[in-house]
Amino acid sequence: MWCFDEVRQLASRLREQARTSRQRRLLVLAGDADWGRALADDLCRTLPLSPASWVSAHSPDGADFLAGRQALALLGQERTAVIFDAHSGFDPDVFGAVSGTVVGGGLLILLTPPLAQWPDFADPAAARIRTAPPTFADVSGRFLQRLVRLLATAEGVTVAQAGLLPVLATETAPAVPVFDGDGFRSADQQTAVAALEHVIHGHRRRPVVLVADRGRGKSAALGIAAARLLREGLKRIVVTAPRVDAVTALFAQAAGLLPGVHQRRGRLQWHEASIEFHPPDELLLTPVSANLLLVDEAAAIPTPLLIRLLERHSRIAFATTVHGYEGTGRGFAVRFRHTLDALTPGWREVRLQTPIRWAADDPVERFVFRALLLDASAAADDDVADAVPARCEFVRFDRDSLAADEQSLSQLFGLLVQAHYRTRPNDLRNLLDGPGLRVYALRQRGQIVATALVAAEGGFDADMAQAIATGKRRPRGHLIPQSLAAHLGLSDGARLRCARIMRIAVHPAVQRRGLGVLLLQRIRRQVAGDGFDLLGASFGASEELLVFWAQENLLPVRLGFSRDHASGTYSVMVLRALSKKGAEVHAAARARFFADFPQQLADPLRELDPQLAALLLCRDDAVLDMSLHPWDKREIGAFAEGARSFEDALASLYRLARCVLVIPDGGLDARARGLLVAKLLQKRRWDALAVLLDVPGRAAVLACLRRVAGSLLKTAGQLRDG
């Protein structure tokens, strides 16, 4: 091992290089855990490095430390040094997040086992991707092996390993001046604040979109603008983001500019004015009035929610991180730009390109981007423009080869990033190391045009399956088999082998050409041939996605009862049988769904979109068989003609709804089907229905309901008398 003096000299030279260039440097101390921790502690005290934070389960006495994912609380803060202890676990999400807190002139110190041994290290952070049975051997070391390879070749990264003394190149980079402009930390930030203020001072429906990499002062710009607008007399600014923690920097910046402010988590009060945080789904369920709505980390919020916020608020601003940990600004641009053009053609984009915490071309930022594939990109549009199903080859990637193939890995992960608003660095580790995970793709001329991640689940023995069904055991992972057993009481579902499609993505340039369905078909054939009993998926329910999965007969068997706060959607589980045993479980699950779902709509699913509920109900393959009694038809006819009150005809109308809503068409348009669901199954109030239908009040809603009942009598011949 090196003596401390040698490492002090090395770290001192690195620190001087960092200060001169106003960049950061990454120092890797690879060796025994106690040696690395003692050495890092010595550097913090002797250089000195302050303020410094440790991300470790074992830190020196008196050190500022956070263990594991608690370190995400550092987001928005600034440190001269961060000591990241990989002996306590290497969590990619945490590493990426805390690296951004190190300011120019500072050091990111990474403590690791000897690099040659690190890929085989029993990493505690691997617990996040382990599935039952919980053994370290189930998680491969591909992610760490790739990381070691990148550390060895990256510029601006210095590895201090036992017996190996690196030679530092002499750097002559001139000192970089710090921007000084009226309290702003860059000209870009000053421009962004002016654009945000113009949202209030200019014409309505002229939103601004801030786009930036991390460390460019985006959230601070939102906070500065919010504070300045309150000081000008604005009374209420509402902020939304996927999580309240994502706007910590915004609130901190605003509070620092408002003397005498009162602040608590998610709320800032200054005299009679306020800045308040509300989750996206809450804003849609319970609309709030605001002078200005600020949407931070918009890339991590599904486009349908953003559209509804855009429609409801005439003065609104969005901010998104291009290579972020909440979501990707690149996917956001693809999904949302056309909407802005259509609804608010006067919108403006402001890009913050100048780093604030460090100078441009920072080697630590460059390494983190590459290591975590934050800059991963799908294939260029022109390279896949002519892709059609007949020209594509279906492949299952060998993950050892994929980890060593940077181009394919970047294309594949970049495609997932663009398609899924919540792709995070830890998903890269799961892709490479996750137990029982399969990586499939469609390629044309070597370019990836579609991809899917499939998890092998289930196969429990009878005792474990019964323990899951009775709530006594909850083994990690295995989402679909556990849900079948624990939620639907189908213990046999946990014994069967299920292939769950975790992610599926088609290149944006070639969507709606049948490539997604082709990929599903090929996966189904392969996993069926490999002996799986069921093929399934779980995702946020939407009409578009339900129709897509139904094309391959993956049909709903369960809907979750809680909305996702960021997306506002309910999770739906879809399933298809691949074997005789699978068909028995599938039929039982479908029967249970159609027996329970109408009742659930009256309570836990009362807020589910009625038209979406109608779509879920009509996907019944004759599982439900109900009849109408002759008196029901008489009551419905009298109601349609105005001779019966709604209350008197309610029971007959309910039975009618249960009959017609299982028919895919049923002679009704989507609006009429939604009305039947909302009033007769979800029992919504008349005033809520008036808002839903955009009509004046109860009388107008009742008139609509009578018309629907009357039109149904014309097709009542389809319903046999009971």
Domains assigned to the chain? 4-161 (3.40.50.11040), 187-352 (3.40.50.300), 381-607 (3.40.630.30), 630-718 (no CATH)
Check pLDDT > 50 for residue 436.
yes
How far is the C-alpha of 208 from the C-alpha of 455, rounded, in Å?
A: 40
Query: What are the backbone dihedrals phi and psi of residue 552, each rounded to the nearest 5 degrees, phi first?
Result: -110, 20
* 3-state secondary structure (DSSP) of residue 299: helix
On the question of pLDDT at 264 being above 60, the answer is yes
Tokens 């849900």 belong to which residue?
A: 483
Q: What is the pLDDT of residues 550-580, one digit of tens each?
A: 999 999 999 999 988 777 889 999 999 999 9
- Match 């094309």 to its residue by tokens: 551
Q: Among the listed ranges 70-79, 99-108, 210-219, 673-682, which one has the minimum average pLDDT value?
A: 70-79
Check pLDDT > 70 for residue 666: no
Angle at Cα 609 formed by Cα 327 and Cα 686, nearest 5°?
A: 140
What whole-number distance in Å separates Cα of residue 357 and Cα of residue 466? 55
What are the φ and ψ backbone dihedral angles of 165, each rounded to 5 degrees? Answer: -100, 110
Sign of CA dihedral 39, 41, 46, 48: positive
Return the pLDDT at 213. 87
- C-alpha–C-alpha distance, residues 317 and 298, integer Å: 10
User: Two tokens at 356?
Assistant: 């604030």
pTM for the model? 0.89
pLDDT tens, residue by residue, 15-52: 999 999 999 999 999 999 999 999 999 999 999 999 99
Q: Select from 199, 198, 194 the least CA-distant residue to 184.
A: 194
pLDDT in tens, 173-201: 555 556 666 678 899 999 999 999 999 99
Distance CA 506, CA 641 (A): 51
pLDDT at 176: 57
Whole-angstrom Cα distance, residue 146 to residue 136? 18
Instruction: Collect all residues with Cβ–Cβ distance below 8 Å to 695 and sequence separation of at least 6.
Output: 701, 704
- The strand pairing partners of 292, in sequence order, are 237
- Cα–Cα distance, 483 to 571 (Å, whole number): 12
From 314, 136, 320, 306, select the one nearest 222 (Cα to Cα): 320
Among 239, 344, 251, 241, CA closest to 293: 239
* Residues contacting residue 102 through CB under 8 Å, at least 6 positions apart: 24, 79, 80, 81, 82, 108, 357, 358, 364
* Cis preceding-peptide flag for 610 (omega within 30 of 0): no
Instruction: Provide mean pLDDT across the span 600-629.
Output: 81
pLDDT at 668: 84
Give me the chain's average pLDDT, please: 90
pLDDT band at 337 (very low <50, low <70, confident <90, very high): confident
Place of tokens 């049975």: 133
pLDDT at 136: 46
Q: What is the pLDDT of residue 722?
A: 57
Q: What pLDDT digit, counting tens, does each position of 506-548 carry?
A: 999 999 999 999 999 999 999 999 999 999 999 999 999 999 9
Give the helix/strand (H/E) hosting 347. none
Q: Distances from the Cα of 216 to the Cαs of 331, 365, 404, 469, 588, in angstroms?
A: 19, 12, 32, 50, 54
Strand partners of residue 396: 440
Neighbouring C-beta atoms of residue 94, cutoff 10 Å: 24
Q: What are the φ and ψ backbone dihedral angles of 76, each rounded to 5 degrees?
A: 90, -10
Q: d(Cα 553, Cα 381) in Å, to the nearest integer? A: 31
Percent of the chain residues past pLDDT 90, beyond the cut: 74
Residue 608 pLDDT grade (very low, low, confident, very high; cuts 50, 70, 90): very high
Residue 169 near residue 470 (C-beta atoms within 8 A): no
Convert the pLDDT of each residue in 464-473 to its tens digit: 999 999 999 9
Q: Who wins on pLDDT, 175 or 425?
A: 425
